[in-house]
Amino acid sequence: MFITFEGIEGTGKTTQIKLLKEFLESRGREVLLTLEPGGSRVGKELRKILLNMESIDLTGEGELFLYLADRAQHVSNVIRPALDSGKVVISDRFADSTIVYQGYGRGLDPKLLRQLNDVAVSGCWPDLTLLLDIDPEEGLRRATTRNIQDNKMAEEGRFEAESIAFHTRVREGYLTWGALNQDRIKVVDASLSPDDVSRQINEIVADRL
What's residue 152's pLDDT?
A: 67
Residue 22: count of CB within 10 angstroms of its CB: 11
Q: Distance between CA 189 and CA 201 in Å, rounded?
A: 10
What is the C-alpha to C-alpha distance for residues 85 and 78, in angstroms, rounded to an integer?
11
The rounded Cα 15 to chain-centroid distance in angstroms is: 13
Check residue 140 and give its pLDDT: 82
Range of the domain at 88: 2-208
pTM check: above 0.75: yes
| CATH number for the domain harbouring residue 193 | 3.40.50.300
User: Which value, to the nearest 10 degrees, does the dihedral of the CA atoms of residues 199, 6, 179, 110 take?
Assistant: -170
Per-run averaged pLDDT (10 residues), the chain, 209 residues = 94 95 97 97 94 86 95 98 98 97 94 96 97 90 74 63 87 96 96 96 94
pLDDT of residue 80: 98
- For the chain, what is the domain count? 1
pLDDT value at residue 154: 55
pLDDT value of residue 155 = 59
Burial profile 39-64: b = 16 or more Cβ within 10 angstroms, e = fewer: bbebbeebbebbbeeeeeeeeeeebb
d(CA 84, CA 93) in angstroms, rounded, equals: 20
